[in-house]
Structure 1
Amino acid sequence: MTFNPASVPVALTIAGSDSGGGAGIQADLRTFAFHRVHGTSALTCITAQNTLGVTRVDALPAEAVVAQMQAVVQDIGVQAAKTGMLLNQEIIAAVAEQIKRLNIPNLVVDPVMVSRTGAQLIDDDAIATLRSQLIPQAAVLTPNRYEAQILSGLEIDTLEAMQAAAQRIYQLGAKAVLVKGGGMKGDLRGVDVWFDGKQLKTLTTEQVDTQNTHGTGCTLSAAIAANLTLGHDLFSATCLAKDYVTSALCNALNIGQGQGPIGHFFPLLT
């Protein structure tokens, strides 16, 4: 593809900041840049975190999040957007309203509700608002195992359960659902299930043996959004995003004393 700087596509990330640089806004912007997409951002919260964990989270006012979204869209415009950590009910409702009001296309929703280890990150009221107001606007929804359990009401421990959950979650209104298998056990670890109302597909990639996996969920949703700005359809954008994440995992960064981040800029590391 010939690159024309004058017509570079633009993507927006609406998410939190990771001071350790492995996930959140930082991971999203690096992912956009890798795909030669101009990254813009609306910050929802600030975290103090590193490879060992999160020690503090401070939410921004919902009005500040709205102002950032409006500033970007009204001047620059965006061809796709992704949401990550929205943190509370007020921010979720404000973001959902602005997505509709600003007519933001190609929305990828990473429903950050539960960590990969199963810890709930937002309260039940926030989850209800996410379910009713934001998810129906999603082009692609990317829940992990535990988030898919909440959204579907199903216990997920088999491939068949992942498939059933994807089909049930689709009824919430997203155009497509990708149930991620990063939290699954054994051969299902890293196996994802796709459903778009017509196609029910199992997506597999090589399993990468590394403890440095911080930021995989953020990166996947950002890569899907980036590929949507480049004109790929929903399924192709998702497959390309999975390939990117796998390559970044193969080149994960062994930094810090805990779980390091994946290597977003892996071509520069070789």
Structure 2
Amino acid sequence: MKKEHIYPVVLTIAGFDGSGGAGIQADIKTISALGCYATSVLTALPVQNTCGVKAIHTIPTEIVQMQLQTIMEDIRPDAIKIGMVHSLELVRIIAEMLQEYPEIPVVFDPVMVATSGHRLIKEDTINEIVNTLFPLSTIITPNLDEAAVLTGAPIGSVDEMRLLGTKIMEKGCQHLLLKGGHLPTKELTSILFDQKGIIAEYTSEKIETNNRHGSGCTLSSAIAAYLAQGKKIPDAVNLAQQYVHEAIKEGADVAIGKGNGPLNHFFAPQQLLKRKAPL
């Protein structure tokens, strides 16, 4: 049979989560639920469950590089999502790859701080991320803990988010979605910036549940999925925020594991989207 169609493809570059709620598993679930085809490159193998991380096995950088090359030469993605990048060498390998494909939109979720508050990556790696990956990313999606690492100042209000988001943009970002879920407020506020300033502010009801494990991974993957479908940044962010809100809402009363449970990624799954293959 003649192959006349293709799927929108999203490549996720991220770590493993055996509990299924975050990391590369959450990425693949999200990308699939939104009608896109997921490919993946594994960067690390944490040993974890819903209660926390017990150990981390690092994937050798040459194996990560081979994974990237093997996927890119066969299935060219329409968007790329990057999760935790935990070493200087890995930052450089990913940056070299991105420089070869400047036309592909990149969503970078700069995971830097654990829920416990501990730094997950060293200062020199953070500096390399800012200097090399930020300018190559279409949009970065830090939470307030990560934003505090980037600015050197804690963020305790929406007004401070507006101010310090502008400072993060000065580091060479194209777009920034600053997530305010850690604020002690009844509403969740996220702010989207570009190089000219604030584009949009998104506000939604904060759902009382501990089933939020992987929400950051899910949001960044959802943005990538919508970009792969051809949406513009503001629309992709808006749709992704709606998807995450509903995924949290639909999974809020479900008991999976003894700790922080996952979202319901498949509350309304789409079929794989088809479009005409280029001639």
TM-score range, shorter chain: over 0.9
Aligned residues: 264
Aligned to 2:57: 58
Aligned to 1:192: 190
Matches within 5 A, 1:70-81: 70-81=69-80
CA separation in 2, counterparts of 1:148 and 1:5? 45
Decide which structure has greater helix share.
1
Contact 1:107 1:140 in 2 (8 A): yes
SS at match of 1:17: coil
Report how far residue 119 of structure 1 moved: 2.2
Aligned to 2:48: 49
Report how far residue 102 of structure 1 moved: 4.0
Report how far residue 237 of structure 1 moved: 0.3
Aligned to 1:99: 98
Aligned to 1:256: 257
Report how far residue 94 of structure 1 moved: 1.1
Contact 1:17 1:25 in 2 (8 A): yes
Residue 148 in 1 paired to residue 143 in 2? no
Report how far residue 155 of structure 1 moved: 2.4
Residue 137 in 1 paired to residue 136 in 2? yes
TM-score after normalising by structure 1: 0.93
TM-score after normalising by structure 2: 0.90
Partner deviation per Cα, 1:200-236 (whole Å, 9 max, x = no partner):
1321112111111100000000000000000100111
Residue identity (%): 39
Report how far residue 153 of structure 1 moved: 2.8
Matches within 5 A, 1:218-233: 218-233=217-232
- Structure 2's unaligned 5+ residue stretches are 270-279
Partner deviation per Cα, 1:231-256 (whole Å, 9 max, x = no partner):
10011101100000001001124211
Report how far residue 84 of structure 1 moved: 0.5
Aligned to 2:239: 240
Contact 2:186 2:205 in 1 (8 A): no
**Matched letter for residue 245 of structure 2:** T
Higher relative contact order (CA 8 A, sep 6+): 2
CA separation in 2, counterparts of 1:157 and 1:105? 35
CA separation in 1, counterparts of 2:262 and 2:115? 15
Q: Which 10-residue stretch deviates more, 213-222 or 154-163?
A: 154-163
CA separation in 2, counterparts of 1:104 and 1:221? 18
SS at match of 1:33: helix
**Matched letter for residue 12 of structure 2:** T
Report how far residue 199 of structure 1 moved: 4.9
